[in-house]
Amino acid sequence: MSDIPSAPPSFATPSIEETIARVPYIAKDYQSVFANNIKAFQDYIPAIAEAFAHYQPEKFELVATDFSVDLVTKGTDELVFGGDAFRTSLMDFEYFKRSPQTTNFSVKRGKHENIANFIHLDFLEKFIALEKKYETSISKEAFFPEALGMLICFGLGTGFYLENLISTHEVNRIYIYEPNHDFFYASLHLIDWHYILTTLDEKGGSLHLSLGGDEEVFFADLGSDLFRKGRYDISKAFVYEHYLDEKISNAVKLFKLKSYELVYGFGFFDDALMAVAHHYHNLRTSPAIAVKEPLTCNATVPVFICGNGPSLDKNMALIKNHADRAIIVSCGTTIDSLLRNGILPDFHVEQERTRPVHDRLLSVDKSLLKKIPFLSINTVSPEVFGLFERRMVGLKADEPSTLLTRSLSHLGTSIKRVAYCNPTVANCALTLVEALGFREFYFIGTDLGFPFGQHHSKDSIYYKEDGEDKALFDLKDQNHLELPGNFGGSVRTSSAFGYSAQSLTAFITRSPHINCFNLSDGVFVEGAQPLEPHLLELGTSAIDKKEIVDRCFDYYHRDCIDLAIEFEQGLSQLNFDEFIDGLIEITYEPQVTRFDALTNLYRQYIYLESGGEQESLYFRDMIRGSILYTHTILSRILQSIEDPEIAVKVNLEGLEILRDYLEAIKTKYHQKLLHADTTEMLSEWRDKTIFKVDE
């Protein structure tokens, strides 16, 4: 039962202050409450019970007051919550409920034509149409529903608001960041954590507590948990800031700045299915990078990771002047820009998986491509690999094909698996070249943003020879973030580029043996030291680049036909239809209330995450991205329509679309498994310039 009384019959609605003032505070046996709470945490979260069973407050102590209770700064009479922590907590949350803050991430269909015939895009349009169909039912004003998918609380304080929330509302997932251990310790004496934990557990919900630590620790905790339990609810999460504090404020700022990372990079079924085929064919026809002790002789060799950003233009002379003293790596479309300036890369890297990459590369004479060493990942089209005579492949982490290959036998673990190799080719290049033993990297043209209001090098495929923009890149649509610049100030960028910068940082952080320097004018990449181009010093001695490249291929080269055969046999043992049918079955469970619908989405996702009865991570990753997309839309709808009956009705219509989608997935899986992509590039992307061998 709620502590807050309903308003009495009256012509005037009482204010929040008047309502809360009437709430009685009932003093408790605080030591008994504490003992019961410690026992509850021993059952649910043992680490918290162990940490706080014998905890001694560092700065704040619990005291009784004339009104209820409060915390007092040790050694002083200074009260934290004005002498009434009970009503202060309830009142603040009531204000939040009147005007709640939420995240607001929506799913949009891209403007590009569906030339690859992805069923994901077709069904995504149906979900978006469903949302549009009921847009008049979607509340224009913020409201706090009786059931929530996700609540993120910045600050617990004494916790009274949480106990009241659990008694009056249904919440599927609650995340709480409380940086002050003393505050949480006080809550163990004041509120019924046993009731909170058991109620959430009985209703299939979850609670994640991030106690102590700074905002970075909290955001990492949040991201890690969301990746396991489903990121879809972040599209419409309720975000509550309980009290003013520097650490709380910093956490809120960081969340607002970086929350886009939590909804980026879902992937989808067609993409995963295509990658499975490419993985199989690449193992049959291309050697891989073997897992070996690193070539220590490569550790001191400088490597230029050349992206196709705007600042590449001003650094062309620098690349030329140091070409004999560094390994030059071209990333994706950068190859055209470098060749246009007479620079032949020592390695070329691609990351996009669709076949049109092959067509784009035909701007370079085939005989010249044959001469350029190629590095890429298993998801890239085998036709792209076929353009290069010397090539090696790495296994992209967290791909269905990679997971299955590595699970079948020890053979799969003999090939280098690369993490943080997306979303841009620069990410892929860094991870692959590091796998060859190189340790000293210089980012050039890796802007990951739009300095000077420009999106790519003027020498790239994106511009005509006279500098006119071909309009292949929609700068207006992409320019929606502002991040710190590499040389100070800020730089406008996109979610994809922002995510790329974070992915680079993650790889650098987890690779303390490498040194990275950033000569680009774009986004700051934490872990890569900003370096003004004119300060670059590589010494005067030329390196034998041919010997270095030859050594890499001789040492790391591993033929993979045995893995391809094993992979094909492993696929034949899996029952994909059974897995999909199990998911469809969950969608038919009775759903009467908003909370029923929200928990059903969550049950679907937990089933997916488990890999079904076969516990197949391959199955999980085949459709996880698609389910994240569909559930993002359904979760938003469920919490955006104030009338719960209408919200549930719309959700049930959405589940009908989902079931059709899942049936289509089964059909396409059997039709296209191990069929490589055959999509051809759109004519406007074809570069008529043909770069040839310099005779």
Task: Report pLDDT for 480.
Answer: 74
Regarding whether 389 and 316 lie in a shared domain, the answer is yes
- Separation between Cα atoms, residue 451 and residue 375, nearest integer Å: 29
Query: Do 392 and 345 fall within a single domain?
Result: yes
Express each pLDDT in 601-618 by its tens digit: 999 999 999 999 999 999
Per-residue model confidence (pLDDT) at position 195:
97
Assigned token pair, 500: 């790329």
Give the residue ranges of the chain where pLDDT is below 70: 1-13, 109-112, 682-695
Do the beta carbons of residue 526 and residue 253 sit within 8 Å? no
Last residue of a domain, one of 535, 559, 583: 559
Helix (H) or strand (E) holding 377: strand 374-377
Residue 149 lies in a domain: no
Are residues 366 and 494 both part of a single domain? yes
Q: Do residues 477 and 604 both lie within one domain? A: no
Is residue 213 domain-resident? no
Residues 292 and 362 in one domain: yes
Residue 661 lies in a domain: yes
Question: Same structural domain for residues 537 and 648?
Answer: no
Rounded to whole angstroms, the Cα distance separating 438 from 433 reads 6
478 and 611 share a domain? no
In this structure, the answer to whether residues 456 and 592 fall within a common structural domain is: no
In a domain, 70, yes or no: no
DSSP 437-502: T--EEEEES---S-GGG--S-TTSTTB-TTS-B-S-S-HHHH--EEEEBTTSSEEEE-HHHHHHHH
Is the bond into 294 cis (omega within 30 degrees of 0)? no
- Flag whether 657 is in a domain: yes
pLDDT at res. 4: 56
Inside any domain, residue 652: yes
Q: How many structural domains is the chain composed of?
A: 2
| pLDDT, position 327 | 98
Q: Are residues 523 and 585 in the same domain?
A: no
Which residues form the domain of 320?
287-559
296 lies in some domain: yes
- Looking at residue 686, its pLDDT comes to 66
Q: Are residues 499 and 607 in the same domain?
A: no
Spell out a b/e string for 124-145, using b for 16 or more CB atoms within 10 Å of the CB, else e.
bebbeebbeebeeebeeeeebb
Cα distance between residue 420 and residue 668, in whole Å = 29
d(CA 527, CA 521): 16
Among candidate residues 509, 533, 559, the one where a domain is terminated: 559
Q: Which one of 509, 535, 559 terminates a domain?
A: 559
Alpha-carbon torsion (138, 140, 142, 143), positive or negative: negative
436 and 486 together in one domain = yes
φ, ψ dihedrals at 417, nearest 5°: -100, 130
Same-domain status, 389 and 310: yes
Residue 668 inside a domain? The answer is: yes
pTM of the model: 0.90
